[in-house]
Chains A and B, each alone.
Chain A
């Protein structure tokens, strides 16, 4: 069955370190997204991609970057982790049109 997987599921890091969260989907979806979930804020969009070599900033993109070199993967990089980036991160993908948005299981990141 097609799926979307995130790794690592849990990570603890220190302020200032670079961190990369991986996202891999086997749906062959063109559209991929990264959200962060924080209490009281719901899910907020960090970055998204509509296809290979395409990336776009979401509403909370500062301090994050993504790259899309193939259809299956959209890694999220925190260049210099900050305590404010402690959160649960969700990757998601969808087909075009009104297709359903499928989510990964989330990655809990703690920045000390």
Chain B
């Protein structure tokens, strides 16, 4: 069974700083997808970014980018020029190719301070 581990329960940075959230996963699969979801205080889950394992290029979405290290089974999220609205819980998730269900990590609570 796949497992996803987020080793940082909480993080806090100043506005405009860059912050990196860590995620590691365990799988014997070669083809899969990785995701980062954001959950602000409103509780709504929002997809931030996704990465296909077969792609070597790291995904980027505006201020959000990932560092995907397939051999190390590592999938970190970098937020550049952090904003107050980035304050949220962030979840890393894994989905095996051909499956539909996602496996989530424990989450990292990120606080952006003014």
Residues of chain A touching chain B, judged by Cβ–Cβ distance below 8 Å, are 31, 33, 35, 40-45, 48, 50, 58, 88, 90, 92, 94, 96, 98, 100-101, 103, 105-106
Contacts and interface: CB of A to CB of B under 8 A. Distances in A.
B43 A41 contact: no
A31 B98 CA distance: 13
A98 B101 contact: no
Q: Is the interface on chain B under 10, 10 to 19, 20 to 34, or 35 or more residues?
A: 20 to 34
Given A94-B100, A96-B100, A103 B44 contact: yes
Given A41-B106, A45-B101, A58-B101, A90 B45 contact: yes
| Dominant secondary structure at the A interface | strand
Contacts, number: 43
Nearest to A35: B104
A88 B43 contact: yes
Nearest to B106: A42
